[in-house]
Copies of this chain bind each other. A is one copy, B any other.
Amino acid sequence: MNIDQLFESAQEAFLFYKNLSGKEKGAFLETLAEILESHRAEIVPLAVKESNLPEGRINGELGRTTGQIKLFANLVKEGSWVEATVDPADPGRQPLPKADIRRMLTPLGPVVVFGASNFPLAFSTAGGDTISALAAGCPVIYKAHPAHPETSKKVAECIAEAITKSGLPSGIFTHVEGGIDVGQALVKHPLAKAVGFTGSHAGGKALFDLAGQREEPIPVYAEMGSVNPIFCFPEKLEKNNDVLAKAFISSLTLGVGQFCTNPGLIFVPKTQAKDFEKAIAEELNDIASAPMLHPGIAQAYYDSIQFFQSREELRWVKVADPQHLINGSTALAEIQAADWIKDKVFQKEVFGAFAMMVVYETEEELLEIVKNLHGQLTITVWAEDSELKDQLFLLNLLEEKCGRLLFKGVPTGVEVGFAMQHGGPYPSTTAPNSTSVGAHAIKRFARPIALQDMPQELLPDALKDGNPLGIWRLVNGAYTK
């Protein structure tokens, strides 16, 4: 099947699929979750082999994947996500009668999805982008990630099985293999209506530019990662030095540091720097090297470390050991805030278990740091409540710079729920007004449409009088079921 044919098939499927009820779409997604679960014994070994991730992690990730599928199944079965809004007619209004206007979200059309290397299941073939697009009512053209081709093919087979079993047109999901040229051709195709991407900044930015240059520009939801800074306040650190050192290092090194939310940057007050450095150095000693996702990623990791080793502003607490190129060993360097502020290169994301500890002295320096900070997925503040009392200005600046601001715990471990925001100002994503994790992710693949004076029998159920779906609707400005 060539690219034109697959998009035509997707478009044809779309005009059928978008009319399914939420219950039907939900049932299809539930079938998919069951089928994936029933193929666990085949999927897990493939993913382990292709990603170098341990079996326990992959088993957990499959659970996260099917859990996510069920969340979106429930979301569309319940149905309120369409933001149904009814402004009733007022024929008697002066000077002009008021029309009946009803608004809801409608799916965009065929969506191109690029999976992530670091989540061969949860952010790949049947991952968050694919599932939220399918849940919204959009067919998906999925470009397989070259780092885990067999896993991707197997999961695609499961999706095809679910489609057949549910009696849906095969065009709602297409699995495409190929190089960068194939990915570009997919994004450029006139029938593509949106792009989902999780991966490197270079990759995401290239797709964003390509999509903007089309005759019809389309949105690119690229989640490109960030360094997820942690800001430590003196009293908090003084009281919890060892506990926080442990929390930081375990978040940094989780999955060999291959998470988009792992904290690669930590700001520590000078008064506590020595104690904290000692504690994290000890923690680092306990972390064994482990294989990275694939040799290319390990190579890029060591190249970045080497690049930073040429910078004299950095003092190395631990240098990564490129003994076996597949292994990502941990690394940590220290830098003074004044030096860090001077050059934005120190904000470069290093994908892997490397962190920079920035030592600051004054609150003025802290403000200057935040002003210079790039957009981030997350920022974490470790402070005693009393230390934040007069910090409204700083907190405001921090909010400007991220999609999620944490006051406890660590940024890794992204909860899948209604309030999650996994997306932040550029360059962490190309679409800060969207999230790629949680219920709101579905909204990336829909747009509002207003239906004015549409006959009742033609209206979608979500907008009909009497609310036959029993969903939450905004009627005359108030929420009602």
Interface on A for B, CB 8 Å cutoff?
15, 18-19, 85-87, 96, 98-99, 101-103, 106, 109, 208-209, 212, 216-217, 219, 375, 385, 388, 392-393, 395-397, 399-400, 402-409, 413, 415, 417-421, 423, 425-427, 430, 432-433, 435, 439-440, 446-455, 457-458, 472, 474, 476-479
Contact = CB atoms under 8 A, between A and B. Distances in A.
Contact of A404 (B217, B397, B419, B450): B450
A106 B399 contact: yes
B99 A418 contact: no
A388 B440 contact: no
A143 B334 CA distance: 46
B385 A457 contact: yes
Given A404-B452, A408-B452, 12 more contacts: A99-B406, A101-B417, A101-B419, A109-B400, A212-B212, A385-B455, A404-B449, A407-B454, A409-B453, A421-B448, A425-B447, A479-B479
Contacts of A474: 418
Given A217-B208, A217-B426, A458-B388, A405 B452 contact: yes
A347 to B, nearest CB: 13
Copy number of this protein in the oligomer?
2
A406 B209 CA distance: 35
Contact of A453 (B400, B406, B420): B406
Dominant secondary structure of chain A at its interface with chain B: mixed
A417 B87 contact: yes
Closest 8 CB pairs of A and B: A421-B450, A408-B453, A103-B419, A87-B419, A404-B450, A101-B419, A406-B452, A433-B447
A435 B448 contact: yes
Nearest to A435: B448
Contact of A450 (B101, B405, B449): B405
Contacts of A388: 455, 458
Contacts of A212: 208-209, 212
Nearest to A456: B385
A17 B420 CA distance: 26
26 contacts: A18-B396, A85-B419, A87-B418, A99-B415, A101-B417, A101-B419, A101-B420, A103-B418, A103-B420, A399-B449, A403-B447, A403-B450, A404-B450, A405-B450, A405-B454, A406-B453, A407-B455, A407-B458, A408-B452, A418-B474, A418-B476, A420-B450, A435-B448, A439-B477, A440-B448, A472-B478
A409 B15 CA distance: 27
A208 B211 CA distance: 12
A469 B216 CA distance: 42
Contacts of A472: 478-479
Nearest to A421: B450
Given A19-B396, A449-B399, A415 B109 contact: no
Chain B CB within 10 Å, residue with most, of A19, A219, A392, A479: A479
Contacts of A446: 433
Contacts of A217: 208, 426, 430
A458 B208 CA distance: 36
A228 to B, nearest CB: 12
B418 A477 contact: yes
A32 to B, nearest CB: 22
B15 A453 contact: no
A406 B453 CA distance: 6
Contacts of A423: 448
A230 to B, nearest CB: 13
Contact of A102 (B103, B395, B419): B419
A450 B419 contact: yes
A22 to B, nearest CB: 15
Contacts of A219: 433
Contacts of A450: 403-405, 419-421
A109 to B, nearest CB: 7
B419 A86 contact: yes
Contacts of A440: 448
Contacts of A448: 403, 421, 423, 433, 435, 440
